[in-house]
Structures are given as C-alpha cells and as structure tokens.
Chains A and B, each alone.
Chain A
Amino acid sequence: MKATTAAIRRPRARKERILVTPEGISLPVMVAGRGARLGALILDLIFIAVLMVCSTLALAQIAGGVGQFMREAEGKGATAQALQFLMIVWIVIMFLFRNAYFLYFELGPRGATPGKRLTGIRIAARDGGRLTAEMVIARNLLRDIELFLPIPLILMAGADSGMAWLAAAGWLSIFMLFPLFNRDRLRAGDVIAGSWVLERPRQKLEATMTAVQTPVGEEAPSPTLKYRFKEAELAVYGEFELQSLERVLRDDRTESIETVYHTIAAKIGRNDGWGDERRFLSEYYTQLRARLEAGMRMGRRKADKYSG
C-alpha cells in the first residue's frame, strides 16, 4: 500500500524525462539512478567472474581426467590433441564471457543483463524508437575501454609503478565518472549507441474509487448520497488537493483521515460528518472529482486551491 501510494503522486523529480513514442504519446520515464547502475555493473562483473572461474575449473577437471585416461591408453599424440582442443575451448569461452555476456542479455526481450534486472533497470532507445541490435553492440563495445582495459592495467601496474598506474586510474575514473557529468546519466557507450538506461516501472492497478460491487442478477443499488455538497463547498479545492485526498483515502489510516476531515470540514464550514469521517471524505472526493472532471471536459482546469 505504501509503495503504490508513493508512486501515485510522483515528485516531478530530476530523474523524470518525457519520452515520445512513435505513436505520439508522451510518456514520463525515469532515468535509472547512478547507484542502481553501479550496483548492476558490480553484480554483472561478479556473475562474469563466477562464470569464468567455474568454466575454468570445469575445463581443468576435464583436462586432468583426459590426461590420466590417455596416459593409461598410452596415446601421447591424442592427449596433446585433446588438451589443445580444451585450450581452444577455454580461450573462446573467456573471449565470449568478456564480450558477449552483455550483448546476449541486452538483446533479449528484457533488454537487461541479470544485474540490471535485479536492480530494476533496463536499456531503451533514446529517441523513443526501436532498440536495435546495432545499438546494443555499439554500447557494449565501448565497455572495453571503459572497464576491461584500465582495470587489468591498474591491477598489473600496482600502485608503485607511479605514472602508469596514475594514467590507468585517471582513465578509469574519467569513464566511470562520465555518467555523473551529463543530465541523462549517459555512459560513453550510451552516447555512441543512442541508448539510455531507464527504470523499469512497476505499478499495480488500484481499485476504482467510486465503484460499488454488485453480485450478478441483483438490482443495482441506486447511489444514495448521505452528504451533499454545495457548489461553493466544492469550489475551494483543485486537482492537487483532490489527488492528495485520493492518497489519504487509499492509504486508509484512521489518524490521517481524521486530520484531513477536520481540515476540510473547517474549510467548508460543516460538521455533520462527525464519527463518519471516511464516508464523508469519500463522498466529498466523489463530488469534487465529478465537478473537476466536468470542468475538464469543458476545458476548464483548476490545478490547486490557489488557482481560479
């Protein structure tokens, strides 16, 4: 309940961008946070490292087994052949893990590596169009200079080799910090590919506010209103207050309902909802919304209580 209501009135945050789909519908999207990006990257690197270690161990096991078997079978040439083959497999696997891991997962329907999926983000085309294979390839080829080139350099050079280490560390930090210095948090690879990383939205469909459930076959109850509000009583609030009221009603916490009841009752000068605050508020909500939506249909909108 908490999470959904937090999302109902999204703060117009710095992360929000408007994306226009090819159908011409503008969609608010959230650019993925830097923390989530970093977390996803670290997770993916861990996965890759685990995969590399596991496959190396497995191949080493096989190689050991093959060597022993061949020694018993007295086939010297065949051993070399088999070991060579395993060596090739190992080289190819290492190359693939390093270069194809990101490609494979980001080309899938989810557009996200396992790390990205765990942190709830994915990639998309910046222009609102289709995410193409070229984009995914381009953005991942650049990973090589961003990560895979400087990290081994740093590890190999060690801090005592002075300039080389400094250069590699500077290099890494330039590319790692690249997303910090542009508005859409683009990585160098994103710049090249025309892609960006977005948050994956999650939003459940909430119940309708004004609907009444009626079993099939029964006569629908005529909507009886216990409280009727006059035009002047409804005119004091706008859309912002309406949606705040919606949040309070959906949250359904007794204290906040009471507080809000007192505020509204004082503002419109009524006190007949005493002891029946929830019903009072929900009927006020319905009538206020009916009034504001009728205005919308006529092209009149009232943003909040301050606007005329």
Chain B
Amino acid sequence: MNAISAPSPTSASAIEIAALRSDRFRIEREADWQRLEAIVTRMEKGRLRRISDEDLLALPGLYRTVASSLSIARETSLDAATLAYLEALVQRAWFVVYGPRSSLAEWLGSFLGGGWSAAVRAIWLDVLVALAVMVAGVAVGWLLVSHDPEWYFSLISRDMAGARVPGATAEALRGTLFGEQERDGLSVFAAQLFSNNAQVSILAFALGFAFGIPTLLLLIHNLALLGAMAWLYHGAGLLTDFAGWIFVHGTTELFAILLAGAAGLHIGRALAFPGDRPILEATAEAGRRAAVVMTGVVLMLVIAALLEGFARQLVDNTFGRFAIGGFMLMLWCAYFFAFRGNARTGARR
C-alpha cells in the first residue's frame, strides 16, 4: 500500500504549492487517483489485454485508497470539483471491481459442476407442483377428448395434426410413429425443434412474473395436447408405441419444460408470498436461482432436440426408444438429485 500511496513530487516537472491543507491533501494523493482513473478508463474501453499485470494487481488496492480519500475529503474539503471527481471515480472503479467477475466459460464450469443441480434442488417444491400440474394436464387432455372428440381440434390445429386425426386407421397412425428413417433434413428438424422448444420454455419461465398463473396454464395446455394424442393412439391400440415415440426425447424435453415451469412458478410464488423479506429482495433472490435453472433448461432442450431429430428417427423400434429415454431420465435424476458437486459452487458466490 505504501508503494502505491507514497507521493512522488520529484518525478513531476513542477512542484505545486497549495495554500490550503485540503488542497495539499489532494496534491499528495493525486497521482494515485490518476493512475486508478487511467486503469479504469482502459478497462471501460474494453482493452483488457493492454493492462499490465502490475496495474491489475494494484487495482483493488487503488480502489480502496481512493475510496478512503473520498471519505476523508468529505470530512475535510470543501472543493466541490474534487469531491465530484472522487465520487465519480470511486463509482467507476466500483463498477469495475464489482462488475461481472467470472467469464462465461468459468461460470459454465461452476454451473455444471454443481450450481445447476443445487438450484434445481432449491426449487423442489415448485418442481413438484409443476409436475402435478403437468400430470393433471395430460389427464385433462385425455378426458376432454374421450368425452367429445371435437375437442381434439381445439387443442391441436389441423395443420399440426396431419394424419393424426380421430378416426384415422391404425395403419396411418403407425406410419406417423415408425418408418421415418428416409426422411430428409433430420438435423434441420432438430434445430427447429430446439429453437421452438427453447422459446416456449423461456416463455413459461418469464410468465412466472404474472404470479405464475400463466405458467400453469401454459403447462396445462401443452400437456393436454399430449394427453389428447395419447388418447388417439390408445384408440388404435398403439399406446405403448406412442409412449416410446414420446419417451425417447420426452424424458429430456418434458423434464426441461417441467423445470422451466417450476422456475416460473418459483418467481411467481416469491412475488405473491415474499414471506418476511421485502418483496423486491425476495423476488430478486428467486429470480437469480431461477435463472440458473433456466440456463440448464436451454441446455437440456439442445439435447432433447438432438434426441428427437436423430435418435427417434434412427431407432425405429419401441424397445430401443424406451431404453434411450429411460437412460436419459436416469441420467437427469441422478444429476439433479444425487450429484452434489463441490459445495463451494452450490452457494452463491
């Protein structure tokens, strides 16, 4: 510290003589202030590589030196320009010193190494609620359509349904489940699926802002669609095959949507019932936790899209599909609920 704050009047081309004590105080410390300003300016311009290691190491010390200069100046100096300069400089240095520390890659490391699974465990209650809602959604879809098949088309648009319409023959339905190996453009299909699913799950999360209610509705609607289709295949005696068709990627994709919904619900719950904390604080905490979960959700959806686009089309039998889907499900459950990672990353840094 001494090396940093020692005044070096001999190096300057001129000695300044100040009449006032507060100005002498300033002249003695000016060199530090200007050095800090130079470092901060370079960092603000994004020229990180052009900052020497020496300067980077000195930055926290300089920041504290200047911060203490500000504290002293506030009590001893009436030079408004100097005070304003110091306040601005401390604020700029604070932005830099307390800015986002970890690079994206570093953050990803700690995220995969335990941060993600810890965040998922932290919202377990919301995961359970979302799961219950999703199961209820499937049941609702099934029941609605079994009572009145007309409901089918209010859930699924005719374009999307294609051959999967009530009254279609078992053969036609079977054709939608198997025999797509020849299909061209699997990878494009996968990329589209990902983009679409990711947008839906981000939406499910973001809608949590309205106290989580739209999130629940979105979950019910999407799962009711699944229930309705399951009813359709059940009628043709193809329920197991349909389950396999969904299962291969669904264990990953539905899990991701489940987590997205749970994350949205978590925020909605914090907004509606902040407990004994101020609402903004409670929401901010929930939001940060949910953000970690959501990053993972996007990752899961990439995997789900790959499974859907490739594995489902290439593995053309129900048993193989169940095997892949079951393996993925076990993998996710093990990662989220058994894997502890290193404790440090679990806690917020």
Contact = CB atoms under 8 A, between A and B. Distances in A.
Given A138-B288, A194-B281, A220 B15 contact: yes
A91 B195 contact: yes
Contact of B290 (A126, A138, A144): A138
Interface in A104-131: 104, 106-111, 122, 124-126, 128-131
B42 to A, nearest CB: 10
A125 B98 contact: yes
Interface in B233-290: 267, 280-281, 283-290
Given A27-B91, A145-B206, A192-B209, A133 B19 contact: no
A27 B284 contact: no
A10 interface: yes
Interface residues of B, number: 88
B92 A201 contact: yes
Interface stretch (B147-155, B224-232, B291-299): B291-299
A106 B13 CA distance: 42
Contacts of B292: 134, 137
B191 A111 contact: no
B310 interface: no
A205 interface: yes
Contacts of A130: 98-101, 349
Interface stretch (B29-37, B129-137, B168-176, B313-321): B29-37
B90 A25 contact: yes
Contacts of B78: 239, 242-243, 289, 292-293, 296
A296 B75 contact: yes
B64 interface: yes
A239 B83 CA distance: 13
B55 interface: no
Nearest to A29: B91
B70 A25 contact: yes
Nearest to A191: B283
B23 A211 contact: yes
Contacts of A292: 78
A122 B46 CA distance: 14
B19 to A, nearest CB: 4
Interface stretch (A47-55, A67-75, A92-100): A92-100
A204 B82 CA distance: 9
Interface stretch (B138-146, B158-166, B197-205, B328-336): B197-205
A210 B96 CA distance: 32
Nearest to B44: A110
Contact of B294 (A129, A141, A289, A296): A141
A138 B87 contact: no
A212 B76 CA distance: 21
Given A145-B207, A201-B92, A208-B79, A137 B19 contact: no
Given A23-B64, A200-B92, A250-B81, A193 B288 contact: yes
A242 B81 CA distance: 12
Given A88-B188, A125-B98, A208-B26, A110 B76 contact: no
A192 B285 CA distance: 8
B306 to A, nearest CB: 11
B202 A286 contact: no
A29 B88 CA distance: 9
Contacts of B17: 211-212, 214, 220-221, 223
Nearest to B30: A205
Contact of B349 (A132, A205, A206): A132
A205 B33 contact: yes
Given A192-B267, A213-B16, A208 B295 contact: no
Nearest to B108: A133
A131 B98 contact: yes
A144 B195 CA distance: 13
A137 B291 contact: yes
A263 interface: no
Interface string A167-196: 000000000000000000000100111100
A10 B88 CA distance: 12
Contacts of B33: 205
Contact of A95 (B87, B188, B198, B288): B198
A137 B27 contact: no
Contact of B87 (A27, A85, A188): A27
Contacts of A94: 195
7 contacts: A27-B91, A88-B187, A133-B102, A202-B88, A203-B87, A208-B79, A293-B20
Given A28-B87, A141-B205, 17 more contacts: A4-B81, A8-B80, A8-B81, A91-B194, A130-B98, A134-B348, A138-B290, A144-B203, A191-B283, A192-B286, A194-B288, A201-B92, A204-B85, A209-B20, A209-B23, A212-B16, A243-B80
Instruction: Report the 8 A-B pairs with minimum CB-CB distance, sorted nearest first.
Output: A194-B284, A192-B287, A138-B291, A203-B88, A201-B88, A145-B206, A206-B81, A134-B288
